[in-house]
Structure 1
Amino acid sequence: MQAALQPGFAFEWTYQVPRKALVPELYDDIAPCREMPAVLATGYMAGIMECACLQAIQPYLDWPQEQSLGTLISFSHLAATPAGDTLRIQGRLVEIDGRRLKFEVEAWDGLDKITEGVHERMLVDNTRFHTKLREKADKLGLAI
């Protein structure tokens, strides 16, 4: 990680909500979910908050050898958002503790604040991470 990335670093990112992010589309293999309202799924929303943080810090990493993985998400889902609406996501890096990065993140759709919360990411060495993943998959008899 480059030294320029410090607590207080702020970012903004926009993302247009696709149809695949709606509850009935995302969970189409679960019968009750197919009958749910066609709104942005909370799980997908949390993933977008992760992606916003990743997009923000990626230029500061020794990419692709140094990457980051999400390790904690804690977001409130405050308002429903339809497909096609554009999210405006704002975040701030509030803490760096070794390889752990902690962010405060909020997002708005075209009318409402839809989420606020905390996200943490861990910096990882890509080669080392994939070596450990392959070892685990081998022990489980899984192909990766």
Structure 2
Amino acid sequence: MEMDFNLSIGMSAEVGITVELKDTAVSFGSGGVKVLATPMMIGIMENAALKAVDTNLPEGYATVGTHLDVKHLTATPIGMKAYAEAELIKIEGKKLTFNVIAYDEKEKIGEGTHTRYIIAVDSFIERTNEKLNR
């Protein structure tokens, strides 16, 4: 049974932060420099993708990230704003593909694609929790 998830190509959202010490490579353990960590940049990219579509889904449904293909192009210092934009570019049933781009106040800092899947929250959590009993 194919369900209508009320999504369309071109849906988009933007998420921003001001880089703090907790957002840096040193804090994440992903590097030795106090600049925006790649995992944090990826996090705001994923959050933008989620915000682009999740509010349109029926009650009881959400999306989960499953794949990223992202380049981190340049560093962003503490105190500078960084933001990510996500645009839905492909819908294949429950598989959603996004174009993601991140910027700071001066330039583009990252770009790539991100895949998310639509899930029924209750059954997803139930299946995940079954791992505890295996």
Aligned residue for 1:14? 16
Aligned residue for 2:85? 90
TM-aligned CA deviation for residue 8 of structure 1? 2.1
Aligned residue for 2:52? 56
Tell me: CA distance 1:24–1:88, structure 2 relative to 1, closer, same or farther (3 Å). closer
Which of the two has higher C-alpha Rg? 1
Whole-angstrom distance in 2 between the partners of 1:7 and 1:37: 38
Aligned counterpart in structure 2 of residue 43 of structure 1, from 39, 43, 50: 39
Between 1:9-18 and 1:70-79, the stretch displaced more is: 9-18
TM-aligned CA deviation for residue 13 of structure 1? 2.9
Tell me: CA distance 1:62–1:19, structure 2 relative to 1, closer, same or farther (3 Å). farther
Query: Aligned letter for 1:26?
Result: F
TM-aligned CA deviation for residue 2 of structure 1? 3.7
Unaligned 5+ residue runs, structure 1? 140-144
Tell me: CA distance 1:91–1:46, structure 2 relative to 1, closer, same or farther (3 Å). same
Unaligned 5+ residue runs, structure 2? none
Query: Aligned letter for 2:76?
Result: T
Give CA-to-partner distance per residue, 1:66-102, whole Å, 9 cap, x none: 0110000111101101222212322211100010100
Whole-angstrom distance in 2 between the partners of 1:83 and 1:56: 27
Q: Equivalent residue of 2:100, what SS?
A: strand
State yes or no: 1:25 paired with 2:21.
Answer: no
